[in-house]
Structure 1
């Protein structure tokens, strides 16, 4: 195989990723799209430029011999169905995170992957961001000694627009936003620390969004749109205060990782700003990021070595492409995985474990904060 011919399922929020795969004169090309919306089909076709096979039924892609791989960019609750069907049809698969919305769903996906002989890659694009690669490199080099604690705060300044004006606001579609939004952060904690979570205790609630507004109310039709702070005129327009919303809009997790490392994760969807703040603390110092200003800070403590004499600030260089240059990198890694068997930075098991933590934390939240063991497995290859 000299070129990966890719069919896409879902042209919604992550549909833009496909532009990095469409290189007709290169090693990958988008050749087909399945999406239930003709309007999204047309917009996607315009973005790609080249003529595509378009359909509303994703199964039409699986039967085509001119498609080598499937990119599953559909809503979370459809990932399990779409990924398994594509693997069973003999296609390589790229799946957006979360891998599924239940641990059992993830395990079924991984079993189908291992039986298929095909490649499966999970879309953890934060592993491809220079900021977090820098932090991992520092920890792996021993710059802060032995890692002991991790603190993460996620200010989701666009939480209402992203998650409460459409399907994300219902737990039947997401389980919770600890899977949809939090899966990135939980994965980064696992990846940078090199350890998976073993147990978790969590608290969370729905304190701002949701309410008693009709489920069929949209922003353009609302009589309060001139004064409502959550009014949006386009794209996602379902009322953010509708009755059916049941997903927590702020969460606080305490986790114990393998080897006794402690971690905390805080997420809020009604903050005025957007930022991810990571702090890793070791026996010889700590590192902390500032993603707003593109910096990573290394702070040292007394060690009776040369290390204690200086702190270091790392300035991130700007990179081209969405998500800080991560999207073109992860797209290329999928191509090289399929063509050359080159191992990417992400793994299916890592995708499973971020979901397992999110599900355990959600169980803890909805049962009063009890300690919940994170589902482990010995029957799946941990790579």
Structure 2
């Protein structure tokens, strides 16, 4: 195989990543797409490849012999169904995060990949961002010593717009936003520390969104649209204060990782700003990032070595492409995985473990903060 022929399942917002795969003169080409919306498929054709095959039934896509690999970009609750079906059809699979909305679902996908003898890659594009690759390099260098603590604050300034106006707001579709939104952060904690979470305790609640509005109420038809802080003019935008919303918008998670590292993850969906703030503390110093400034700060403490004599600030270089230049890199890694068996920066097991932490934290929240142990199971990849 010299060129990977890719089919897309899910032509919604995240399908914009497919443009990175459609390179007729390169190593990959997008030849098909499936989505239940013909309107989205039409937009996909215009944006990616006007000659691509399209269908409203993903099974028709999987039956095609001219497709070698499939990118699963559908809503979270469909990842398991779509990924397993693609693997059983003999296709390599790129699956957006979270891998599934249950740990058992992740294990079933990984098992299907092994049985099919096909590659499975999880879309953890934060591992490909310059900011977090820089932070991992600093930690791995040993300049801040042995890691002991990780603090992560996630300010989701567009939480209502992204997560409470549509299917994300119902737990049956997501389990919780500690999976949908938090799986990135939980994975970065695991990746940079090199350790997985052993147990969690968490607290959270629905403090702003949700309420008593009808489930079929949309923003354009609402009598309060002129005064509502969450008004969105899109035709099908559901009310962010409707009855069915039951996923927490304010979460605090405490974790103990392998090796005794303590970590915290805080996520709030009604903040005025949008950024992630990471702090890693070691025995010789700490590092902290500022996404808004595009910087990583290294602070050192007395260590009886030259390292204590100065602090360092890293200016993160801007790169072309969506998600800070990460999407072109991660899509290329998937192509190289299929063509050359070149391993990417992430693994299916890492995808499984971020979901495991998110599920355990959600269970803890809904059990009043109970400590939940996290199993690594017998599925390793």
TM-score range, shorter chain: over 0.9
Corresponding residue number in structure 1 for 2:146: 146
Corresponding residue number in structure 2 for 1:13: 13
Q: 1:237 is paired with a residue of what secondary structure?
A: coil
TM-score, with structure 2 as normaliser = 0.99
Q: State the shift of 1:236 in Å.
A: 5.7
Q: State the shift of 1:114 in Å.
A: 1.0
Tell me the distance in 2 between the aligned counterparts of 1:236 and 1:252.
32
Instruction: For 1:99-138, list aligned pairs within 5 A.
Output: 99-138=99-138
Tell me the distance in 2 between the aligned counterparts of 1:160 and 1:105.
27
Q: Which runs of 5+ in 2 are unaligned?
A: none
Q: 1:118 is paired with a residue of what secondary structure?
A: coil
Corresponding residue number in structure 1 for 2:93: 93
Corresponding residue number in structure 1 for 2:174: 174
Structure 2 contact 31–49 (Cα < 8 Å) conserved: no
Corresponding residue number in structure 1 for 2:308: 308
Q: Deviations over 1:130-181 (max 9, x none)?
A: 1100000011110100000000000000000000000000000000000000
Instruction: For 1:1-383, list aligned pairs within 5 A.
Output: 1-234=1-234, 237-377=237-377, 379-381=378-380, 383=381
Q: 1:199 is paired with a residue of what secondary structure?
A: strand
Q: Deviations over 1:230-269 (max 9, x none)?
A: 0001166100000000000010000000010000000000
Q: Which runs of 5+ in 1 are unaligned?
A: none
TM-score, with structure 1 as normaliser = 0.99
Tell me the distance in 2 between the aligned counterparts of 1:236 and 1:288.
40
Structure 1 contact 12–74 (Cα < 8 Å) conserved: yes
Q: State the shift of 1:18 in Å.
A: 0.2
Tell me the distance in 1 between the aligned counterparts of 2:64 and 2:325.
32
Q: State the shift of 1:375 in Å.
A: 2.6
Tell me the distance in 2 between the aligned counterparts of 1:13 and 1:277.
25
Q: Deviations over 1:116-137 (max 9, x none)?
A: 1110000000000011000000
Q: State the shift of 1:284 in Å.
A: 0.2
Structure 2 contact 5–67 (Cα < 8 Å) conserved: yes
Tell me the distance in 2 between the aligned counterparts of 1:144 and 1:235.
51
C-alpha distance 91-5 of structure 1, shift in aligned 2 (>3 A) = same
Tell me the distance in 2 between the aligned counterparts of 1:234 and 1:223.
15
Segments of 4+ moved more than 4 angstroms? none
Tell me the distance in 1 between the aligned counterparts of 2:135 and 2:16.
27
Structure 2 contact 322–328 (Cα < 8 Å) conserved: yes
C-alpha distance 35-282 of structure 1, shift in aligned 2 (>3 A) = same
Q: 1:244 is paired with a residue of what secondary structure?
A: coil
What is the RMSD of the two structures over their aligned residues, measured on CA atoms?
Answer: 0.7
Q: 2:286 is paired with a residue of what secondary structure?
A: strand
Tell me the distance in 1 between the aligned counterparts of 2:174 and 2:275.
22
Tell me the distance in 1 between the aligned counterparts of 2:235 and 2:113.
34
Q: Deviations over 1:88-138 (max 9, x none)?
A: 110000000000000000010111111111100000000000110000001
Tell me the distance in 1 between the aligned counterparts of 2:350 and 2:363.
20
Of residues 320-329 and 231-240 in structure 1, the stretch that sits farther from structure 2 once superposed is 231-240
Q: Deviations over 1:170-211 (max 9, x none)?
A: 000000000000000000000000000000000000000000
Tell me the distance in 1 between the aligned counterparts of 2:119 and 2:272.
40
